Structure 1
Amino acid sequence: MIVFASRTGNVRSVVSKLGVESIEISEGLLLDESYLLITYTDGLGDVPEKVTRFLEQNKEFCKGVVVSGNSNFGHTVFGGAGEKIAATYDVPLVRKLDLRGYQADYDAIQMFYEMRVLG
């Protein structure tokens, strides 16, 4: 399963192109199965609050994180939410997407998903 948070629609677009079972983060969402997290970056490299709250209750099933950001803000903060989640929860940072990403990104995400989440 893919669990995602989308503010501007970029992440939602990425998830729709992957064509796998997915659910958007909502308040109180609890899971009991493996998932890949896809999120946006807030502010200047921050993890969105709703994602932090979700992870506090669902961290044990997270197999990796994909993050969307905007490289125009500079590489020191680009995709910072993904780096922070990976370090805090000891999961792989699968990919940093510039906005909606590219086909090569989708292929890499799909490969990781099939091996580590479904595997």
Structure 2
Amino acid sequence: MIYFASRTGNVRSIIGRLSLPHAEIQRHTVVQEPFLLFTYTDGLGEVPELVSGFMERNSELCKGIIVSGNRNYGHALFALAGDKLNEQYSIPIVCKMDLRGKETDDEQIQKYYERVIRNENLS
């Protein structure tokens, strides 16, 4: 499963291209299975509040972080929410995507999902 948050529609658009199970994060979402987190970067490199709360409740089952950002904000701020989540929870970053990403980003996510999430659910 991929749990995601989307503000401008970029993340939702990418999710729509992937043929993977997904659910949008709601204020009190609690998960029971391994998942990937897909988030956007808020403001000047911040983790969205909704995602912060979600991760406080669910980080132990998170197996990877996918994050979108905008390269126009510069290298230091690009997809910084992913770096902050990685630092706080020691969860690997699967992919950093610029805006709506590229086909190669989609492939990278698909391969990681197959290798990590599907194998985890077979155990």
Q: CA deviation at 1:12?
A: 0.5
- Cα distance in 2 for partners of 1:110, 1:82 equals 18
TM-score where L is the length of structure 1:
0.98
Unaligned runs of 5+ in 2: none
Counterpart of 2:61 in structure 1 is 61
SS of 1:45's equivalent in the other structure is coil
Q: Say how many residue pairs are matched.
A: 119
Counterpart of 1:89 in structure 2 is 89
Q: CA deviation at 1:107?
A: 0.3
Unaligned runs of 5+ in 1: none
Counterpart of 1:51 in structure 2 is 51
Counterpart of 1:3 in structure 2 is 3
- Cα distance in 2 for partners of 1:14, 1:89 equals 24
SS of 2:27's equivalent in the other structure is coil
TM-score where L is the length of structure 2:
0.95
Map of 1:2-21 to 2, 5 A cutoff? 2-21=2-21
Q: CA deviation at 1:20?
A: 1.1
Deviating 4+ runs (over 6 angstroms): none
- Cα distance in 2 for partners of 1:113, 1:87 equals 21
Q: Does the alignment pair 1:73 with 2:73?
A: yes
- Cα distance in 2 for partners of 1:14, 1:116 equals 20
Counterpart of 1:108 in structure 2 is 108
SS of 1:38's equivalent in the other structure is strand
Question: Percent of counterpart pairs with the same letter?
Answer: 50
Q: CA deviation at 1:31?
A: 0.5
